[in-house]
Structure 1
Amino acid sequence: MKEGKDLNLTDLAKHIQLINQLSNSDINVTHVTTDSREVVPGTLFVAIKGYTVDGHDYAATAVERGAVAIVSERPLDVPVPNLVVRDSSRAVGLLASAFYGYPSEQMRMFGITGTNGKTTTTTILRDVLAELGHSTGLIGTVEVRINDRVVPSKNTTPQSSELQQLLAQMKAEGVTDVMMEVSSHGLELGRVIGTDFDIVGFTNLTHDHLDFHGTFDNYARAKGLLFAQLGQIASRGKVAVLNADDPYSKLYETMTGARVMTYGIDAPADVLATNIVQTLSDTSFHLHYQGESLPVTVQFIGRFNVYNILLATGCLLAAGYSLAKIIEALEAIHPAKGRMQRLDVPGYNVYADYAHTPDGIEQCLKSLVGVPKEDIIFLIGTGGNRDVTKRPTMGQMASKYAGTVVITTDDPRFEAYDSITSGIASGMTHDNFVEIGDREEAVRYAASLAKPTNIVVLAGKGHEKYQIIGNEKIPLDEEKIVRATILKMEES
């Protein structure tokens, strides 16, 4: 689908560093993509070498479908201009941004990175700004939203050409503020190159994605790229909002040239929460900023959500809103889908959460304040063919806070069920657990343990209504399974 303005190939090529000399460049480009299936006549096709597919192998197919030029990391034998670059992942961001007229520069861009809390924080920002009357866009794990229209998302951080096209659509539909989750994968792969952020925030850094990054230091460095790329032009007024209670904020402060605002609970910070009172339905605390101290009660549970609210508040303060206005909007909004979301099962306490890291599990379970450990049934799974080193610690955290644990899979992909569940089970510190590799069966079993007096938490999938088995997405609606199981149980 063509969204951008037709540009001459010569003009587009000025935005990237070529290894070769471009000839026969008086050609109009009508589309930019990295997916050969999306090529239409007039397309500039950028060949990217991925982990499973190499776009260079599809260059000839792209030409057959109408590509007028190919960007690649090595010379290709194609009958159209071939622009050779060192890194095509970087090049596509710059090309797509120019092609679509630099849409990110024409809207206020909020970027949120960190291990846990990205979805909740971006959703809070979106909901508050909508409450304040703004036209908003959201790009994240749960959904892509343009004003009131929801578009299913493929990746937490879309591929560069897809991202710039999406931003151009948002701009065309009147969006003024965009909230974006920025993953470590997206940063490492250069997917946000060409995107101009105004205010960026950091949630926290805990164990995750080491299958991709190799080491925790590499993972931390990848997150830091968002702050390093924030820009050095002082007159632009850019701001990095950092978690004073997370030690990695010190590193990110050294990596950015932007103004730094901090938030926290334990350490001194610009935006501070005190007198936190938690229940199973809401959380109250005092918000402090520049001498002001105001009470707030939100419909979010858990200390981890206080951090998410503090980060969102810091971003909004950096954008120029008053503390009183922010609090008024915060008290009117609801939690994001699948983030300690209470399921619609009348008479029972069943929650869905996206927790799939050791820290995420700990924070999720610690939010159940006042609930005896023996009254918590916790279902946890993890993805197959992914970071195996976190699995024992996930089991350790689950057994620390939950009296009964149901160990299952998340998206098993091509890994055997028992390989996944045994990894989690190896970290368990009590014996009151069961391993059920088939997640649907495991959800049904966990639901069968539900009573009006206890709490069941289904962790790992959150908002997702599917499971990836092999390379297929298999429908899986856990809320429906829970309701059907409990109804059958009551009837018997």
Structure 2
Amino acid sequence: MPSKLEGKVAIAPPRPSRTTPVPVSDLATMADAHLTAPDRNHVPVCGATLRAQHVVPGDLFAALPGARAHGADFVDQAIACGAVAVLTDPVGAAKITHDVPVLIHPDPRSVLGALAAKVYGEPSTKVDVWGVTGTSGKTTTTYMVESVLRAAGRTTGLIGTVETRVGDHRLDSAMTTPEAPDLQALLAVMVERGTSDAVMEVSSHALRLGRVDGIGFAVGAFTNLSRDHLDFHPDMEDYFRAKAGLFDGRARTEVVCTDSEWGLRLVRPDTVTVSTTRDANWTATDRRTTATGTQTFIVHGPVPAPFAVELGLPGDFNVANALLAIGCLHAKGVTVDAIRTGLRTVRVPGRMQRVDEGQDFTAVVDYSHKPAAVALALDAVRAKTAGRVITVLGCGGDRDTAKRPLMGAEAARRSDLLVVTDDNPRGEDPGAIREAMLHGALEVPRAQRGDVVEIGDRAAAIRHAVSAARAGDVVVVAGKGHETGQEIAGVVHPFSDVDTLAAAIRETSR
């Protein structure tokens, strides 16, 4: 059965088995917040959350203003579950009738991260946190860094779009970067379980909304910037300023890819730079790609001698991601041997992921869901095939509408056959989304594009692409990558591009 709003329902985050209680008065002083009920200023706080349904006894409940409701509307539920204090703004405080200590702050979200860090024992001082931000490449770079750290014998945690993992224990990811209390609790769990390094994706939403406040990063890294999230940010400059928040001094080491002008703007005297296009601290030469998509290149940097890297992920952009990972790892003393081993063995779900059922053409699933990422992915596969490129692509609903024709155009220019289909329509009319994509695709002059067809049903679109493939071709199913559901009209239906593509290949091969 498909589940209503599956993937949007917040999963209760893990918590450490014990914390040292913090008096509510200490939290009020730390946040410079007005504290009501001063006669109970020594009430101990043992945890924090901003979701009433996740409150456990002893929690500070953060009742934040929201777009549709105010968190103070859920104070009754939070207190019934055991909340002992509330953090809110003046509007929220006026709604609270319970006799509990209330911390009143004009912008409670801006202090929540630091308060949660205090409640959970300042975990980022006990585990090295590696943060990666940028438009594309965050997931891949975090997997690269984590793979190398494991090769170096470190005990790791991973936080990101695909999964959250503590050691080998996997948790589902509800969002790229968890809310501040959940994130601090998760880091505290990692500390409790002996984790030495936590590698995480840091989204622009997380930086703008304070989700990573209260974290001291061992490393902050920047991949690139291209059009995305302009439903949240008013323009690219605002989007960049949010990303730049990771480089405001909260990271002890800053590593930046300078292939773009956006990256160059982040460079300061102590910044470690990497680039595939210009002089930098870390560069690559002699790139070669095998028929299977594995590529090798020589890395040049502040080491005694250049060294060769073998990477099982295709594309120039993955060389850039690897250089970024190398710059981060070397800066923290990881050896070249561990770097080479970790990069050779890294696998990233849903990122240029090969699907092999013994067919005579190449099949790839990729998460590319923005114009620049679609172009890079298709350029990468085009570079290593003499056959045709067949692409299946859709656009998500309730997101930046202006990128839809751009994605259609980028895919049409690079495909011999483009199958426009549905992604996650969410609350929008799927046909209207496809129409916008088709408009962009068909605006490309006929001589500069391949055939374009529209098949709304995503499984049928994948089957059509597979049935059209001949020996030596490449089929790319783009947009959803690692995802295991498709959201249509508020219901998430089980759906995997990897499984559907594999099944279509098997069916066609009979």
What band does the TM-score fall into relative to the shorter chain?
Answer: over 0.9
Q: Does 1:264 align with 2:282?
A: no
Report the alpha carbon displacement of residue 455 of structure 1 after superposing the two structures with TM.
Answer: 1.1
Q: Does 1:56 align with 2:72?
A: yes
Percent identity, aligned pairs only?
36
Provide closer, same or farther for how the CA distance between residues 51 and 468 of structure 1 changes in structure 2, counting only shifts above 3 A: farther
Report the alpha carbon displacement of residue 480 of structure 1 after superposing the two structures with TM.
Answer: 2.7
Does the 8 Å contact 1:59/1:78 carry over to 2?
A: no
Q: Does 1:343 align with 2:355?
A: yes
> Secondary structure of the residue that 1:214 maps to in structure 2?
coil
Does the 8 Å contact 2:59/2:82 carry over to 1?
A: yes
Letter in 1 for 2:347: P
Q: Larger deviation: 426-435 or 266-275?
A: 426-435
1:241-320 counterparts in 2 under 5 A? 241-253=255-267, 259-279=270-290, 280-290=292-302, 292-320=305-333
Q: Larger deviation: 421-430 or 212-221?
A: 421-430
Match of 2:49 among 9, 33, 42: 33
Match of 1:7 among 15, 18, 22: 22
Structure 1: how far apart are the matches of 2:436 and 2:384?
Answer: 27
1:101-140 counterparts in 2 under 5 A? 101-140=121-160
Determine the structure 2 residue equivalent to 1:411: 424
Letter in 2 for 1:44: L
Q: Does 1:45 align with 2:61?
A: yes
Report the alpha carbon displacement of residue 127 of structure 1 after superposing the two structures with TM.
Answer: 0.6
Q: Does 1:17 align with 2:32?
A: yes
Please, which runs of 5 or more residues in structure 2 have no aligned partner? Answer: 1-13
Structure 1: how far apart are the matches of 2:15 and 2:343?
Answer: 38
> Secondary structure of the residue that 1:296 maps to in structure 2?
strand
Structure 2: how far apart are the matches of 1:221 and 1:105?
Answer: 26
Structure 2: how far apart are the matches of 1:215 and 1:148?
Answer: 39
Provide closer, same or farther for how the CA distance between residues 443 and 349 of structure 1 changes in structure 2, counting only shifts above 3 A: same
Determine the structure 1 residue equivalent to 2:393: 380
Structure 2: how far apart are the matches of 1:269 and 1:51?
Answer: 43
The CA deviation string for residues 252-274 of structure 1, in whole angstroms up to 9 with x for no partner, is 235xxx83100011110000111
The CA deviation string for residues 214-262 of structure 1, in whole angstroms up to 9 with x for no partner, is 111100100000111426xxxxxx21111121111232235xxx83100
Does the 8 Å contact 1:2/1:30 carry over to 2?
A: no
Letter in 2 for 1:378: T
Structure 1: how far apart are the matches of 2:509 and 2:328?
Answer: 47
> Secondary structure of the residue that 2:293 maps to in structure 1?
coil
Does the 8 Å contact 1:90/1:191 carry over to 2?
A: no
> Secondary structure of the residue that 2:298 maps to in structure 1?
strand
Structure 2: how far apart are the matches of 1:483 and 1:53?
Answer: 43
Please, which runs of 5 or more residues in structure 1 have no aligned partner? Answer: 232-237
Does the 8 Å contact 2:423/2:486 carry over to 1?
A: yes
Structure 1: how far apart are the matches of 2:155 and 2:506?
Answer: 42
Say what the alpha-carbon RMSD is for the aligned residues: 1.8
Report the alpha carbon displacement of residue 324 of structure 1 after superposing the two structures with TM.
Answer: 4.3
Q: Larger deviation: 70-79 or 141-150?
A: 70-79
Determine the structure 1 residue equivalent to 2:472: 453
Does the 8 Å contact 2:385/2:474 carry over to 1?
A: no
Report the alpha carbon displacement of residue 292 of structure 1 after superposing the two structures with TM.
Answer: 2.4
Structure 2: how far apart are the matches of 1:102 and 1:404?
Answer: 53
> Secondary structure of the residue that 1:40 maps to in structure 2?
coil
Q: Larger deviation: 17-26 or 202-211?
A: 17-26
Q: TM-score, normalised by structure 1?
A: 0.93
Determine the structure 1 residue equivalent to 2:10: none
Provide closer, same or farther for how the CA distance between residues 315 and 359 of structure 1 changes in structure 2, counting only shifts above 3 A: same
Structure 1: how far apart are the matches of 2:505 and 2:313?
Answer: 26
> Secondary structure of the residue that 1:213 maps to in structure 2?
coil
Structure 2: how far apart are the matches of 1:415 and 1:32?
Answer: 35
Determine the structure 1 residue equivalent to 2:412: 399
Does the 8 Å contact 2:112/2:181 carry over to 1?
A: yes
Q: Does 1:99 align with 2:112?
A: no
Structure 1: how far apart are the matches of 2:69 and 2:392?
Answer: 34
Report the alpha carbon displacement of residue 371 of structure 1 after superposing the two structures with TM.
Answer: 4.9
Does the 8 Å contact 1:56/1:72 carry over to 2?
A: yes
Match of 1:174 among 194, 205, 211: 194
Match of 2:439 among 426, 447, 450: 426
> Secondary structure of the residue that 1:259 maps to in structure 2?
coil
The CA deviation string for residues 279-316 of structure 1, in whole angstroms up to 9 with x for no partner, is 34211111001262122222121111000100000000
The CA deviation string for residues 76-110 of structure 1, in whole angstroms up to 9 with x for no partner, is 33321111112222222111100110001111111
The CA deviation string for residues 411-441 of structure 1, in whole angstroms up to 9 with x for no partner, is 1111111111111112212361112223233
Determine the structure 2 residue equivalent to 1:145: 165
Match of 1:482 among 501, 507, 510: 501
> Secondary structure of the residue that 1:277 maps to in structure 2?
strand
Q: TM-score, normalised by structure 2?
A: 0.90
Determine the structure 2 residue equivalent to 1:165: 185
Provide closer, same or farther for how the CA distance between residues 108 and 40 of structure 1 changes in structure 2, counting only shifts above 3 A: closer
Letter in 1 for 2:103: L
Structure 1: how far apart are the matches of 2:266 and 2:373?
Answer: 22
Provide closer, same or farther for how the CA distance between residues 307 and 52 of structure 1 changes in structure 2, counting only shifts above 3 A: farther
Structure 2: how far apart are the matches of 1:425 and 1:443?
Answer: 17
> Secondary structure of the residue that 2:67 maps to in structure 1?
coil
Q: Does 1:471 align with 2:471?
A: no
Structure 1: how far apart are the matches of 2:200 and 2:214?
Answer: 14
Structure 2: how far apart are the matches of 1:425 and 1:72?
Answer: 46
Provide closer, same or farther for how the CA distance between residues 30 and 322 of structure 1 changes in structure 2, counting only shifts above 3 A: closer
The CA deviation string for residues 163-199 of structure 1, in whole angstroms up to 9 with x for no partner, is 0010000011110011010000111111000111011
Does the 8 Å contact 1:263/1:310 carry over to 2?
A: yes
Task: Select the structure with the greater relative contact order (CA < 8 A; seq sep ≥ 6).
Answer: 2
Letter in 2 for 1:422: E
Q: Larger deviation: 149-158 or 89-98?
A: 89-98
Match of 1:389 among 402, 405, 408: 402
